[in-house]
Amino acid sequence: MHYQKNAFDIVVTNEKGKSYKTDGKTNEDYYAFGKDIIAPCDGEIVLVVDGIKDNTPGILNPIFIPGNTVIIKTQNNDYLFFAHLKQHSIIVKQGQKVKQGQLLGLCGNSGNSSEPHLHFHIQNVEDMNSATGVKCYFDKIQVNGFLKADYSPIQKDRISNENK
């Protein structure tokens, strides 16, 4: 699937690298579940899907792969794809203009997702079936405790947007 090239699956972990607080049997036990998902830039909402139930952790839904989804079209005609959002949490509508930092919805566990996390990628066209993934660079991002500019995270990087 070319649209998943350069994609990020972002989980929230504690300092020990665990993504849940106790046993991981409920979505609410995961640090990521219910966290704000915000627009990284200005754009227009071109797709909203918000009726897919959140999974029980460990049980995937391969019928509705992305689950609850928001796609933002940027001024550069890139398409920012946010997947696995929490059911009924998306507060933007198709056709709406959004600003950087605006709330889109909450992190969930819908679709082909084994635990609460955000799937994020950039693609070159709106239709995920014919899209190709585009590499994503962050203007400024904390990576493994160091501030980096124009950086594209790699697997196992510990990232944060907070200055610590």
The predicted pLDDT at position 162 comes to 63
The predicted pLDDT at position 161 comes to 73
The predicted pLDDT at position 5 comes to 66
- Residues 19-40 have a mean pLDDT of 98
Q: pLDDT by residue (tens digit) across 40-76?
A: 999 999 999 999 999 999 999 999 999 999 999 999 9
Distance CA 128, CA 47 (A): 11
HEC string for 70-105: EEEECCCCCEEEEEEECCCCCCCCCCCEECCCCEEE
Alpha helices in 10-137 (DSSP H): none
The predicted pLDDT at position 134 comes to 83
The predicted pLDDT at position 4 comes to 64
Residue 139 token pair:
């203007």
Phi then psi for residue 134, to 5 deg, are -115, 135
The predicted pLDDT at position 119 comes to 96
Distance CA 126, CA 64 (A): 17
* Amino acid at position 51, single letter: G
Kindly give the pairing relationship between strand 68-73 and strand 43-49. antiparallel
Checking if the pLDDT of 164 tops 70, the result is no
The predicted pLDDT at position 102 comes to 98
User: What is the residue-averaged pLDDT of the chain?
Assistant: 92
Distance CA 39, CA 36 (A): 10
CB 67 within 8 A of CB 116: no
Q: 28: closest CA among 102, 81, 107?
A: 107
Q: pLDDT by residue (tens digit) across 100-155?
A: 999 999 999 999 999 999 999 999 888 888 888 888 888 888 999 999 999 999 88
The CA R_g of the chain, rounded to the nearest whole Å, is 15
Distance CA 104, CA 86 (A): 11
Q: 66: closest CA among 15, 2, 133, 112?
A: 112
CA angle 132/139/34 to nearest 5° reads 75
